[in-house]
């Protein structure tokens, strides 16, 4: 048991030393002119490459992804219709659809479904 603890401590020590050495030896420059500019085959860029990302577009994308996953989760419910008990299928389907509707109501209540500002 003590041997396992000693080997574990040795591995932790060696990995920490390796991380420390890599941090010391790595040269990082956060505001390098070449890294901040886009690569356009050696030409000067026509516009600034770091344009701000639209948060509205990001929220719409996330909501679409959530609804897409919900549809994928509904498909097995449809296929299980004839394989399981009708009462348990109704309870499970009702519970799942209610969770989805509550989520939709919450998104609607937070004005996330408005497509324009």
Separation of alpha carbons 93 and 79, rounded Å: 12
User: In this predicted structure, what is the pLDDT of residue 39?
Assistant: 61
Helices (H), the chain: 2-25, 33-36, 55-79, 86-109
**DSSP string of 73-85?**
HHHHHHHTTTTS-
User: In this predicted structure, what is the pLDDT of residue 80?
Assistant: 82
pTM (2 d.p.):
0.47
Separation of alpha carbons 100 and 105, rounded Å: 9
The yes-or-no verdict on residue 93 having pLDDT over 80 is yes
Residues 99-109 have a mean pLDDT of: 86
Q: What is the pLDDT of residues 22-43, one digit of tens each?
A: 888 886 666 666 666 666 566 6
Separation of alpha carbons 95 and 76, rounded Å: 15
Largest CA distance in the chain: 68
User: In this predicted structure, what is the pLDDT of residue 7?
Assistant: 93
Write down the domain spans for the chain. 2-36, 55-109
Ramachandran assignment for 42, one of left (phi > 0), alpha (psi -120 to 50 degrees), beta (any other): left
Q: What is the pLDDT of residues 64-86, one digit of tens each?
A: 888 888 888 888 888 888 888 88
């Amino acid at each position: 048991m003590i041997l396992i603890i000693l080997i574990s401590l040795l591995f932790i020590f060696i990995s920490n030393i390796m991380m420390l050495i890599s941090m010391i030896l790595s040269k990082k420059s956060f505001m390098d002119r070449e890294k901040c500019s886009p690569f356009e085959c050696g030409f000067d860029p026509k516009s600034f490459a770091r344009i701000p990302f639209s948060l509205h577009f990001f929220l719409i994308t996330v909501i679409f992804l959530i609804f897409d996953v919900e549809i994928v989760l509904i498909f097995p419910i449809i296929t299980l219709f004839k394989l399981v008990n009708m009462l348990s299928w109704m309870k499970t389907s009702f519970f799942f659809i209610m969770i989805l509707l509550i989520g939709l109501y919450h998104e609607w209540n937070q004005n996330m479904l408005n497509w324009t500002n």
